[in-house]
Structure 1
Amino acid sequence: MNEFEMCPRFEKAVDVLSKRWVALIVFVLMQGPRRFGEIEGCLSNLSGKVLSDRLKEMENEGIIQRTVYPEMPVRIEYSLTAKGNALAPILGEISSWSSEWIELGVKQ
């Protein structure tokens, strides 16, 4: 019997994207750069602490970029990098799949 072995890169990608809120944050940032409060406002039930943690993790993974504008008060925006933008077709497919197969309010 052949033993199945998971590709380490695929496994890491799934690990990164399956963390709670990551895919939704990417989805929000697909519309363009956003400030922290704007991202938080788009995602109900997401605490500021968790958002902060996810943004740091995503920045460390190279998915998002944090830009600090030297204004008074300081303005900070988050945007997708090329690596983050490369997720757009994947999330678009998930959106299409969910429109066809997921019903709200009905347990599967």
Structure 2
Amino acid sequence: MTQSDAIDEAMPAVANDVLRPDCPSRVVMQRIGERWSMFVILALADGPLRFTALKARVGVVTSKVLTETLRALEADGLIARRAYAESPPRVEYELTGLGSSLLVPLAGMRAWAETHVPEVLASRARHLVTS
């Protein structure tokens, strides 16, 4: 049995199959896999943040790209934007219940990435030398 067979066997049978080109679940995978989406979701794990604090927590993302990412995640129901009627205006972003449900799988991906980064970087370096 291959590793792929084992994964397929462990997965419950569902009508959607992300490997099918016409599967609607692909749009969800694409959103989560966009460059900054995972970082925004992880940054909001500890609670609501204002735009500037979120931008600082995520890192090198530009304001324009962060705004686009936030709008897309909000449209998909993964985050909520809360504007307060104050002077000066205050806006906070937080995970919805749906967005919070991504924290467990993302924590696994994060742990894998943080554990295996030395191996990946070493392989990348070897590949560059032989290319």
Q: TM-score range by the shorter chain?
A: 0.7 to 0.9
The structure with the largest helix share of the pair is: 2
Aligned partner of 1:41 in structure 2 is 56
Tell me what 1:72 maps to: 87
Q: For the structure 1 residues 60 and 8, does the alpha-carbon distance in structure 2 shift closer, same or farther, using more than 3 Å as the test?
A: same
Find runs of 4+ consecutive structure 1 residues off by over 4 angstroms: none
Where do 5+ consecutive residues of structure 1 fail to align? none
Question: For residues 7 and 32 of structure 1, do their structure 2 counterparts lie closer, same or farther at Cα, with a shift above 3 Å needed?
Answer: farther
With a CA cutoff of 8 Å and minimum separation of 6, indicate the structure with the bigger relative contact order. Answer: 1
1:61 — aligned with what? 76
Give the unaligned 5+ runs of structure 2: 1-18, 124-131
The one of 98, 101, 106 equivalent to 1:86 is 101
| Whole-angstrom distance in 2 between the partners of 1:39 and 1:84 | 16
Please, what TM-score do these two structures have when normalized by structure 2? 0.73
Shift of 1:7: 7.1
Q: Kindly provide the amino acid, as one letter, of the partner of residue 25 in structure 2.
A: F
TM-score scaled by structure 1? 0.87
Percent identity over the alignment?
26
- CA change 1:7–1:98 in 2 (3 A) is farther
Q: How does 1:16-31 map to 2 (within 5 A)?
A: 16-31=31-46
Q: What is the root-mean-square deviation in Å for CA atoms of aligned residues? A: 1.9
* Larger of the two Rg values belongs to structure: 2
